[in-house]
Structure 1
Amino acid sequence: MNTWVLVLGTVVGCYAFKLAGYFVPARTLDRPQVRRVVELLPVALLAALVVVEAVADGRRLVFDGPRLAGLAVGAVAVWRRAPFLVVVLAAAATAALLRLAIGG
């Protein structure tokens, strides 16, 4: 299948999914259980993406030191409530400096 067909299909699907959110009745979001899920779902998805990028290379699991050290530094920065940009820069700098130090 053509790559552009897949890209356009994904764009249309994402837009339709976002548009569908406008049709959810407000009373549905007023329920505490639904509100809690709606608030935590983006955090869970972002955490899953971070973990996949940290320990996966294609279809293989890869546990390399610099990547995991960057993840650990980023996790500590999040735990210490650092701004998002500081978290990203600290994690990236840690991984980059370790790669430079070990030559990998």
Structure 2
Amino acid sequence: MSLWWILVLASLACLLFKIIGYFIPENFVKSGPVRRTADLLPAALLAGLIATGVAVEDRQLVIGAPLAGVATAAVLFWLRVPFLPAVVAAAVVTAALRLWTQA
């Protein structure tokens, strides 16, 4: 199966899920567990994308500079440091580790 067929099938699956969504009763969607899952699912998907983006290289688990940057940002956010300084610190840690490992 070529990549284009996979893309077409995934698009049709998304369209089908959207159409099915119109037929689900509103009281089911607003129930506690469904609503909580719908609220947390985007964050979980984003976390998965970030994890695979910074910790996987050539289908191998790599613990390196990008992962250290994400860990730095996570610790700073946990300490309630504002967003911009946390991102700058994470970028500095990532850049410093990349320079250090290339030298």
Normalised by the length of structure 2, the TM-score is: 0.70
- Percent identical: 37
Q: Give 5+ residue unaligned stretches, structure 2.
A: none
Q: Aligned residue for 1:43?
A: 43
Residues 55-64 or 25-34, more deviating: 55-64
Instruction: Name the CA distance, whole Å, in 2 between partners of 1:12 and 1:92.
Output: 39
Q: Aligned residue for 1:14?
A: 14
Q: Aligned residue for 1:70?
A: 69
Q: Given residue 33 of structure 1, which amino acid in structure 2 is its aligned partner?
A: P
Normalised by the length of structure 1, the TM-score is: 0.69
Q: CA RMSD in A?
A: 2.9
Q: Offset at 1:97?
A: 4.3
Larger Rg: 2
Q: Offset at 1:53?
A: 2.0
Q: Give 5+ residue unaligned stretches, structure 1.
A: none
Instruction: Name the CA distance, whole Å, in 2 between partners of 1:16 and 1:93.
Output: 44
Deviation per residue, 1:26-77 (Å, 9 max, x gap): 100222122112211221222122222222224321112x112111133235
